[in-house]
Chains A and B, each alone.
Chain A
C-alpha cells in the first residue's frame, strides 16, 4: 500500500481535532438586524449545541469582506474573554482554512477551544453577487482590466473558466443544470432552506441569462445569516453533547500558479482542487472513493462540477456525466450538499456545507423525520419530497471550498468513535 495513503499512520494532526458544535440563524432575505446580532446568535447556538458554556471558549476566528462584525465585539457581547482571535479577509474557501488555523493555534498552546463564524447580511446589506456595483472610485492600473471592462462580480470573474470547460469537454447546459435540480431536491427536505421548491432542468435553462454560461438559477441564493462552528481537541470533544466530526485533513486556500491571474496558466478549466487534492487525500489517508457525502461549494452550478473533477471524484472532463448521473442525489452513491447548499439553502461563504456534513456524521440531520423518545430523529431514509435527508451510515465526508477558479480549500471529516 502507498505509505502516503496508509490510514494507520498518524500524521499532520489527523484524528486529533474535531468540530463539536454547529449553529446558524435563520436564512432570510431581510434579517432586520445587524451582523453583530447574527454573529452573536450563531456563536451562542454553536456553543450550546456543543454542550459547552461560553467560559469554555477562549479562541475565535471569523472572515468577511469587511461586511461583518469582528470577533472581539461578538465575544464581548457574549462575555467571552479571548486568549486568541483573528478576523481575516475573504469569502469562499475560508472556512476549511480557518479550521486548520484553529487546530494550529490550539496545538501551539495559544488557546483550547475556537469558535469560527461568518456573519453577513448577504442580501439586505452587502450582496456579493453585486460586487463592484457601487464602485465609483477612479479606475487605476489593474482595475482597468476588471471594472474598466465590466468585470467585477464573481460570475463575471468565473464565466470564462466555465465556458472553456464546455468547449474543452463538451459539457452541456443540461448536465450542469442538474446540480441545481439535485440541490433543490435536497433543500425540499430541509426545513431551514430559503428555497424549498424543487426545480427542473427546464426551469434552470429558461431562467434569465446573467452572464453566459450562467442563468439566474445557476447562481446561488444570496441570504442574510450567521453561521458558526466549534473546534477543539478530540479528547475534549468526547465530553461534548454530540458525536464529534473528527478532522482527518485540511487544505487551506491552495492556489493555482499565478493566483488571481490563474487564467494565464494551464487549462483554465482546471481549478485549485487539482493541486489541493495532493494534500487532502494523503493527509486524510483516504481517497475520493471512500467518501460518502461531499460538500462541493456551489456558488454556481459549475463550481460544484469543476471541483468534483479536480479532486478526483470522476475523471477530468467527465464532470457533466457525474453531476447529471444521480450519484449526487440523496439515495445516490455519494450525495452532494444534502442541505441544498448555496444554491438553495442559503449563501454563507461555505459554512452551511460544513455544518451539514457535521450533522450527517452525527447521523442526526435536522429534517422532518419524527423525533424519538431519545431525542434523536428516527430517520426513515425515504428521500421523497419533504422527507428524510439523512444519508445512511455516514462515516466519511469531504468539503471542497471554492474561492475562485484559482483558490480552493478542502477538509475530510470522519464520524467520531
Chain B
C-alpha cells in the first residue's frame, strides 16, 4: 500500500512502511494538519519521527493543529538548483513557527515547519507576493491535493489574522 501522486511533474510515492510519513500525508489528504503527540510526555513534535525526541517514547497519537503560525525565518531562492523550480523563482523557503507549543519544552524551542509560500489557491507565490512576506508575517496552512488521498501543506498569508506593520525582510531587495 502506498500514497501515490505527482507534484510539479515530480512523482510522489509514500510507502506504508514509512508509517509516520504515510499517516501525516494521509491526514494532509483530508486537509488536516496534524502532529505526533507523545503518549508519555505529551509534547508534540515536527516533522514526523519514529520516537519522541524529548523522552524517547515510541508511541504517539496524531493531534490536529490550528495550522496558524508566523514566519520564524526564511530564505528566498533566486537561483534554483532543481530544474523544476526555475520557473518559480524567486520562491520562498519558509520556516513557520506554529502557534502551538511555542517556547516549549525550552525557551526558543517550537513546532516549526518547512514549506513554500503560496497563493490562496495553492500555487507557488509570485514575486510580488514574495516581496511582502518576511519574519513575523502571519501565515495559515492550505493544502494542495496531488493524488488520491494525498495532499501537501503550503503556506499562505493569513487574511484573517492581524499582520505586523512591516514584517522583517532582508535589507537589500
A residues near B (Cβ < 8 Å) are 129-133, 135, 138-142, 144-153, 155-156, 159-161, 163-164, 166-167, 172-173, 205, 208-213, 257-258, 261, 263-268
Contact = CB atoms under 8 A, between A and B. Distances in A.
B91 A145 contact: no
Nearest to A145: B114
B14 A140 contact: yes
Contacts of B78: 208-212
25 contacts: A132-B81, A139-B7, A139-B13, A141-B14, A144-B25, A146-B114, A147-B10, A150-B85, A150-B88, A150-B116, A151-B114, A152-B82, A155-B75, A156-B81, A156-B93, A159-B74, A160-B93, A160-B95, A164-B135, A210-B77, A210-B78, A210-B79, A212-B76, A264-B45, A264-B110
A213 B74 CA distance: 9
A211 B18 CA distance: 31
* A interface majority secondary structure: mixed
A257 B43 CA distance: 15
Nearest to A144: B152
B106 interface: yes
B95 A209 contact: no
A159 B109 contact: no
A160 B73 contact: yes
* Shortest Cβ-Cβ A-B pairs, 4 listed: A141-B21, A159-B75, A212-B76, A160-B73
Interface centre among A131, A142, A144, A153 (most CB of B within 10 A): A144
B12 A130 contact: no
Interface string B99-122: 000000010111110111000000
Contacts of A155: 75
Given A140-B18, A167-B73, 13 more contacts: A138-B13, A140-B15, A141-B21, A142-B47, A149-B115, A150-B116, A151-B93, A153-B81, A209-B78, A211-B75, A212-B76, A265-B108, A266-B106
A299 to B, nearest CB: 15
Given A141-B20, A150-B116, A163 B81 contact: no
Contacts of A138: 10-13
B148 interface: no
Contacts of A160: 72-75, 93, 95
